[in-house]
A and B are shown apart, each in its own frame.
Chain A
Amino acid sequence: MRNQLFQSTGFRLSLRYALLYSVLTAAVLLAAYLFARGELREWVEDDVRAELAELRALTESQGRDGLIREIDLEVWVASRNSQIYQLTDASGVSLAGNARAIPVFRKRLIVSRDTIEVDNSLDSDATEFIVRDTLIGGMRLVVGKSLHLMKEASDILAEVMAAGLALLLITGLGFGVLVGRRTERRISTIRATLTKVADGDLANRVPDDLKKDDLARVSVSINETLGRLEALIESQHQISADIAHDLRTPIQRLRQRLERARPEDEKTALIIEESIADADAITATFQALLRIAQIEGGARRERFQSVDLIEICQSVASAFEAVAEDEGHSFSCDVPGAPVPVFGDRELLTQLAANLVENAIRHCPHPAAIVLRVFMDDDVPCLEVADTGPGIPADERERVLRRLYRLEKSRTTSGNGLGLSMVKAIADLHGAKLGLGDNEPGLSVTVAFSS
């Protein structure tokens, strides 16, 4: 069931969609994150720029001393909002500020705390600063702000996004499993219906599950097809029955006329007798064909019961042992001690065994040894007829079974050449496997029933 779930289209499709969505969402979230981080950094930089502008304005109104005073004040607050200031004169001597040795840069720079000197009073979390500078009247003012708060913010953002993504993925997978399972159940229902129909219950249909999706449409199509199939087979049976009736009645009349004829001489009497025999041969052939067709169509399956293979074989053996011996063959019946039950039709299985034994009797030049066996192969009941006759060459064995040789090359008097076809039809009806093998020498025919 696990494997089936993973192979189910519904599950796979959902899985693919879930993954695709997750990847897309991840991409979007990543972009959003990077953008947000960029924005946050912008804000920090804006703060720095604003601070620079303020200080420049202050210098213009309060002069150099005012600036130094302001910086000293800011430095005192800076430890709490982690800003750094560096004011140097034209020769690089420090005038004010809590930072020193910030290198010269263009526009802006991100410096790490250990590459410059800062006062210890600065927040220990502040390890990276974004700095900008400006020249005011021969002095160089550098202002910087720590990025650690921004970092914290963006980290939180990243965590939230990752959690959201994970949740999305899990929900997607969970949904996939649910959809997969439900689809799997519906597909199982369809398969069950088709199996039952293949087994012969033509009236079966896929139940209506009230949804209006793809599977529902397929189910409707399947039901329509099954309906047509049932009608077709019905009409086939009807045709067979009609043919049977149409053929039998004229043959009956033919026979009746021949029987009522009063021949005047021996010769005519013989002709009439042979004609009657021919009429009977015609009847026997189409009767056998009709029977095979009906068996192939599943007739009698409803009447299946548990029957003992041993009893069937013993009754066949008791009938044909004498016949075989009269033909010069030796015949033996080999059965185990305990009953071997199979589910099937007694009459048909008797005919199957009889056909095989008769085939052996008729096709072996004497003397041959014919064996009728019943045995268990693991827990598979088997019936076998083996002879030491000419056998069937390996390549012809396939043909005999596959193409359902309806017309034997060696057709004799009352035989209609359909024996093996009948055997195959009966075996198929019982869900049994028919196998032809080399008896070394000779032919062995094995019928293996399902356990």
Chain B
Amino acid sequence: MKQTRTFTKTALMIVVILIVAVALLPTCAGAATPTYYVSDFTDAGYTGALFYGEYFGNSRIPVSIYVYGDDIDKTDAKFVEFSSRVDSYVVSVDRCADTQALVGSPSEPTDLRRINDANSGERVEVSLLTYEMLVMAKQMYQTTDGAYNPASYRLVDLWGFSSRTYGYNGVLPYDREWQTYKKQGYESWYLPEPDQKYIDAFKTLCDFDSVLLENVGDSYFVTKTCPNVVVDGVSYSQWLDLGGVAKGYVVDGIISLLGEFGYLHYYVNAGSSSMAYSTLPDGSPFTFGFQNPFNMWQAYVSVQTSNSTLSTSGQYIRQYSMPNGTRYSHIVDCKTGRPTTSTVETVTVISSLDSGAFAGEADCWTTALTVLGKDNLKSFLTNANYGSKFEVSSVVGNKNNSFVYTNVEENKFAKKDANFDFATKVEMVDGNKVVTFDENKLSHASQKTIVVAVLSVCGVALVIFVIVKLVLSKAVSPAQRIANVRADKFFKTPDVIVYGLVVVLIVSLFAGFVFGRETDSPTTIAIECFNGQRLFVYKADTGEYVAEQVENFAVDVTQSNGKLTVTVTNTKTGDFNVVEITNDNGKATAKVVDANCGLHKECVNYFPAITTKKATIICNPHGIKVVADGAGNDYILI
């Protein structure tokens, strides 16, 4: 029987904390700041070594490689060399594809920066790597009929989604300032629409075919032949962005390095959108949960998969909403010059390592499929050529009405997640299978609301029924009824039956809930929001903890006398809860010792301390709960 492993982000977060700590150390000018770190990791019985680095300047793409093996650790000469080779390789891709930062020492512009800075007709010499990436980009541009378009970068920049503009106010003539408005009580940022003249102008720059790639001997050249456009007297040249292709290249290069060094069990993640993996040491597949675009702390489906590359694209990853409700995402449609209006919210493409597809190819497809829209997506799934080469999972629609379209085989779905529940409606298209999941099952929350609504309606119906019945029945006059009660005895014989039933109920409740209960002490203690969002996790065996950086929350941890005091504060409302965790030789307990949740302070006064698995303390007014070994995730959420 295959085991489904448990994986938490704890190891990764600890490494990040280490990196931040070391990064704060002063460095002398000229001394090289390491771009990566190595560490050991342990998870659910597996050990190995971890490589973690951040690249691509302002875009801050994290690259992590988990190499599994009991005999592998961070001090291994082989692993150290591997890490160094990985770093050099990623830096070399960075030097080609980074559009914004100046890299290297002395700083010099990257290939792509020079290409973008060049004017139409100028011949730019580039490295082999850049040339290769552009060749692949051209192939994908043609295969997807322009839906994947690296030449859309001017438009992406215009709408505020390039690393140059996102979140910052820029300096080009068409830049606008970010504005805010109140959306459902909180601040929402948006960029006012650009002038139509820029949209029209930059649309003409989207011709990627016109980019000339030349290989002369050992040299490679790129020439933009698409003419510059002039708007208000300022000339703009075409801008290219290799985006997904670059990340795919990073992943592909790492895969061959892993092969070269003989590492058989690994999981590589570049920027959370491009991944590759083999199998766990015991041969079992990895389990990934695909992020629910409407509830980012949960997965909409989790899939068991091995020996593949995986790419994910989502409109929800980078987007903003206008005050009138229109949503603009970072995926731009060159045909309209505007962010796509496609209803495809997220696409995940998996391609087997055996099929010979490059990770970059899958990445391009995720973007293309988003732009191409729902109908083309369905055709893609059933296309004999593509459908057999790629496994695709996607969410189409909006929060209130969505479908999952996928051609992943049903037996690969891991249904263990409590937050996911689906019923299948199978559509037969030309004899090929497109599995469509019913929209209402996507989010656990909506299902619950329905149950509560149904119960409430039943309750109200019951009340009405009783009232009607009473009105119609021959009522005992109130005076008579009062007199009856006055004359009553405290105990009547038939009471025994009632009491007997109550005792039976209580006994069965005990049997059901208490005797089957966990008595082990907790292995993890987590502080979460009601929607599943984790704020803090503590591991009882190692004493390690992770305080997550979550929007609108501040988590403060102090340690004294072997006691951990965690203060969770909602920065928007000022609500706080103070949790005390003690650990006595691996036996952890947790208690809420203070909170400002109203008069009763239920979470402080009415809940016993957590001493066993599955125990919980809930602060209802704040929407915060403390859970020991709760219904966590059995998958890696991507």
A and B form one complex: no
Contact surface of A with B, Cβ cutoff 8 Å: none
Chain B positions near chain A (C-beta within 8 angstroms)? none
